Structure 1
Amino acid sequence: MDETLLAAYRRTDYRVRLGGGGYASIRIGHPLPVALTGLVTGEPWGFITAWNPRSQPRPPSQNRQAQRRLLHALRELPATHFIAAGVGVGENGWREGSLFVVGPDVESLDALARRFGQHGYLHGHGQQPAQLRLP
């Protein structure tokens, strides 16, 4: 992955929709926001998308269809016990629908990232700082 794309990942605001309204922002290298720590309770978590495989823009209809397939795949993983809607927001207004998931380990998320053509995703364990993973 080139440095420009890595820099874009680092600057992105990874937002998770909260059940009571609003959102919590995850940032690479920072601990999870307090609003999310109660959801993870020491478990592994990820922030992943199926949008724009290999960083190539796709029509919204194709992105939504791929995202539904990713949601279904996450629900099928036995370790999954929570999923919330999310969105990655770039500095230039770029947005990608995403999913915040609690339970699956990095091996499972790596497999899904590869299956859906993603260069990377965020992950962590409990309250540890969010990390960019390049499967």
Structure 2
Amino acid sequence: MDNSLIDTYRSTDYRVRLPQGGWVSIHVDAALPTSLHTLIGEHSWAFITAWNPGSQAQPRTHNHAAQQALLLALRQLPRTTCIRPGMGVGNSWREASLFVVGPNLADIDELAQQFQQHAYVHGLGQGYARLRLSSDRPPHGQAG
């Protein structure tokens, strides 16, 4: 994965639909917005998509089917406490995404690999949002 792709991930606006309506944005290496604190508590969370595996544009029908499969997989994880709609927004693109509360990094790493995603955003409780690179080979890691 090249640095320009990592820079794109870092500059993306990760939007989460709030339960009471409206959207809030998560940004890599920034504190989690206060409007998400009650929803998350001290749990781990992740912002992930199944759209455009390998960062290669796919037909909308393929992306929708993959996103539905990801939603089902997230619902089946025993630690999942909440799933909210999300939207990753860049300069000239946007991808439907999911904000999930509860699963640990190993669970999300596995799903990121299964859905061929290069990276996702995650955090613990009210801490900072971090970009996590995916790989089919350990170790997984933070983008530096």
Query: Residues 105-133 of structure 1, C-alpha deviation per residue, up to 9 Å, x if partnerless?
Result: 00000000000000000000001100000
Q: Which amino acid aligns with 1:43?
A: H
Q: Report the count of equivalent residues.
A: 134
Query: Residues 8-63 of structure 1, C-alpha deviation per residue, up to 9 Å, x if partnerless?
Result: 00110000001221101000001110111111101000000000000000011100
In structure 2, how many angstroms separate the alpha carbons of the residues matched to 1:37 and 1:119? 27
Residue number in structure 2 paired with 1:12: 12
Residue number in structure 2 paired with 1:130: 129
Residue 4 of structure 1: how far off its partner (Å): 0.7
Query: Residues 39-97 of structure 1, C-alpha deviation per residue, up to 9 Å, x if partnerless?
Result: 110100000000000000001110000000000000000000100000000022x0000
Identity of aligned residues (%): 54
Residue number in structure 2 paired with 1:83: 83
Say if 2:92 is the partner of 1:96: no
Q: Which runs of 5+ in 1 are unaligned?
A: none
Higher relative contact order (CA 8 A, sep 6+): 1
Residue number in structure 2 paired with 1:109: 108
Residue number in structure 1 paired with 2:2: 2
Structure 1 residues 48-59: aligned runs within 5 Å: 48-59=48-59
In structure 2, how many angstroms separate the alpha carbons of the residues matched to 1:17 and 1:127? 17
In structure 2, how many angstroms separate the alpha carbons of the residues matched to 1:102 and 1:5? 26
Q: Which runs of 5+ in 2 are unaligned?
A: 135-144
Q: Which runs of 4+ in 1 moved over 6 A?
A: none
Residue number in structure 1 paired with 2:21: 21
Q: What's the TM-score once normalised by structure 2's chain length? A: 0.92
In structure 2, how many angstroms separate the alpha carbons of the residues matched to 1:18 and 1:57? 28
Q: Which amino acid aligns with 2:84?
A: A
In structure 2, how many angstroms separate the alpha carbons of the residues matched to 1:130 and 1:14? 10
